[in-house]
Structure 1
Amino acid sequence: MAVKLQRYELTPQMRDYDEFNDAGRRHYLPYLMYFGRPDFISPTVNTDRSGFRVSTGPDGTKASAAGHVPPGPVRILTGGSTALGVGATSDDSTLASLLWSRYAPSEPWLNFAGHCFNPAQEALLFTLYRNLLGNISEIVICSGVNAMMLARLPEWQQGDHGAFFFCGEYFEKMEELREQNRDRSRRFGRRAKASSSPAGVATFDDVRRDITTVIDSAADTTLRQLDTWQRVAGPETRISYVLQPMSRWMRQTSTPQEEILFEERDRIYKRGVWEELYGDVATTEVARTFAAALRVGCEKRGVRFLDLNPVVAEATTPHDWLFVDRVHYNDTGHDIVARTMAEALELS
């Protein structure tokens, strides 16, 4: 008998997100590794021919980067799955849609985010698909959690541009390919050279414990990619970096609904319990230190910076149910984040 999940009772929209993110149907792409499933249709989340999520304007107009793009200047909201809108009950309730339809409607907002992206993938997505858009007046990057999580992976997975989600699978498959080629070399009489590569999948013991190193690494990979954003966007485009609100970065208490969802997530998540995996970086102190490093780097580059964690914390109470899991928001959370972001960045 199938187990009834509280996740689907309290947040039924998550069924569509689980289908959208089904690993068996993951949309793999050259260069990016993976992106949203193209032409995905559901009551909750819908994408265009290239996998960009649809956003909604004040008059119900639908737009997306590889679909209908309104004439004139546009603005884009980018980042990882939080910017994508995971947890929203419909395309209308994502951050991009709420900015366009309610809190900063003077120009259209397009959803340019990707699920499980690191800072390099966020910038690369924009680089590869910049040709789809004309004049971009504003870019808001709402991100940070993925960079911090990935910075905890072992040094050998970091490379030049930081680790990425599912990189263990990538290294594992590349090792299988190398082994096939070694076998081929042996058959043709050449001596195969032994591999010095480590195992493909990192274990819990591999994860870095030095929080200072983790924060420095996450900040460095993020700030270096801002240089790419500026060069590709051009000098006329205003760029803002927003450190996304995350449950443990903004408050230590949770609502009863959040506690149920968090506890269930820990029970069914194959990779382990949240506190064991990320508890040391999921604190308000770490968030403040990370934000301070990002703020200094953004100021040097002329990029506006906003740590939205204390702003959202100030705008809510411990009784407000905001999260469907520790990183993604329900509709109430999306609405508060969109409103406070628009106010703090003075978006019109």
Structure 2
Amino acid sequence: MPGTEKRGRATSDPAGSARSTLTPHMLKYAEKFDDRGDIRWLPYLMYFHPAGHVSDVVCTDSLGFRVSHGSDTRASVGGPRPKGPVRLLVGSSTVFGIGATNDRATLSSRLWTKHAPALPWLNFGGRSYNSTQEILLFTLYRHLLPEIDEIVIFSGFNDLGLARLPADQSGDHGAFFNCGDFFSRMANSGGEGRRQGLGLRRRRDTAPAADRVTPDLDEQIATASGLTLRHLDTWRLFAEAAGARLTYVLQPLATWVRERPAPQEAALFRELDSISDFGAVYGDIAAMGSGRLYAEALRRGCAGLGVRFLDISPTLAESAAADDWLFVDRIHFTDEGHDLVAGILTDQLDLS
């Protein structure tokens, strides 16, 4: 099932473990920001971050959006907000900033503070969101935003990971994290059952066996890119109406960037795999070649829509030294990784 490395809780790492030694701040995320923390169940969106959370690692506003920092001020969707114009960084947990040691180290803050500081950047990330939830989040909170100059969507992996789920989980708008719990409870099936990954359990219904088979790679890519492009077309309409520039960036996965991880990454990945085998969870989508195929499907689709597209994985591979520590797990960045990616975005998208 998708998601175990992304949201599995790690609250009892033994002393001397790779995670407790290299990434002790990740326990702060696990306490409040995974599916067994203080998740907020919301209409339409399903879930969002704890609101009004304050710690030395992560702070959220009155709505649950993470706070972004400029050189001498800070801002968020739930306030305080700049008068505008602003730039939006949209996405899921990587945009939210899982892995950053503090709010100043997230992508939006590094862009605002150092790399592209001409306008404020607001963090519009929702942990474990797919492309449907990303656009719903914008639709529900757009009324709070000032004038928007730029929209950068930095996303893509969750849609591909969720496309691994069988057809009876996907419906008309794609699968979402915790959809197994949702379907089971709505069907009054009774009993909590056993959690698997992110609580992605199949419905106990009479769906044909063919609808319960994991799709092959081509089907997964077609499903994920199709949903993403459908939602991008709506983003395009929003951006054109607002006079904002729109860009879609396919986020990097560690295994899409380089074959051999940095020493710290290797230690962390081994330890995480002892809890939940990433390869078993995500299958062949984790391979570098799969990432390139997915990127090409999105590139073609974006060209047809007239939306700028960037596959950042090859550029990140070229920009990083072999031993640069970029990832705290296979999807979330270290502080150094956030800063390097923010610089690449600025250069590649002409954001300065």
TM-score by length of 2: 0.88
AA in 2 matched with 1:215: I
Q: Distance in 1 between matches of 2:112 and 2:255?
A: 28
Q: Which moved more, 1:143-152 or 1:295-304?
A: 295-304
Structure 1 partner of 2:216: 210
Which residue is 1:229 aligned to? 235
Distance in 2 of aligned mates of 1:327 and 1:206: 27
The equivalent of 1:52 in structure 2 is 65
Q: Distance in 2 between matches of 1:302 and 1:314?
A: 27
Q: Which residue of 2 aligns with 1:173?
A: 185
Instruction: Return the letter of the residue paired with 1:39.
Output: G
By how many angstroms is 1:122 displaced?
0.6
Partner of 1:279: 283
SS in 1 for 2:90: strand
**Residue in structure 2 matching 1:253, options 243, 255, 260:** 260
Which ranges in structure 2 are unaligned for 5 or more consecutive residues? Answer: 1-11, 192-202
Secondary structure of residue in 2 paired with 1:134: coil
Quick check: which has more Rg, 1 or 2?
A: 1
**1:36 maps onto 2:49 in alignment:** yes
* Misfit runs of 4+, over 6 Å: none
Partner of 1:185: none
Q: What SS is found at the alignment partner of 1:305? A: strand
* C-alpha displacement of 1:209: 4.5
Q: What residue identity is the alignment partner of 2:85?
A: P
Give the alignment partner of residue 71 of structure 1, picking from 83, 89, 113. 83
- 1:145/1:244 contact within 8 Å kept: yes
Q: Which runs of 5+ in 1 are unaligned?
A: 181-196
State the 1:2 CA deviation. 7.1
How far has the Cα of 1:206 moved from its partner? 4.9
**What's the counterpart of residue 117 of structure 1?**
129
Does the 8 A contact of 2:13 with 2:20 survive in 1? no
The 3-state SS of whatever aligns with 2:328 is: coil
Residue-by-residue CA offset, 1:185-206 (whole Å, 9 max, x unaligned)? xxxxxxxxxxxx6459xxxx95
Give the Cα separation in 2 of the matches to 1:332 and 1:164.
30
> Between the two proteins, what is the percent identity of the paired residues?
50
> Who is 2:333 aligned against?
329
> For the residues of structure 1 that align with 2:205 and 2:158, how far apart are their CA atoms?
23
Q: Kindly report which structure 2 residues correspond to 1:68-217, keeping only aligned pairs within 5 A, or say none.
A: 68-176=80-188, 198=204, 206=212, 208-217=214-223
Shift of 1:48: 0.3
Q: Compute the TM-score of the two structures, normalised by the length of structure 1.
A: 0.89
Q: Deviations over 1:70-125 (max 9, x none)?
A: 11200010101011110001100000001111111111000000000011001100
C-alpha spacing 1:2/1:250, structure 2 compared with 1 (3 Å): closer
Give the Cα separation in 2 of the matches to 1:46 and 1:345.
28
- Cα distance in structure 2, aligned partners of 1:102 and 1:232: 28
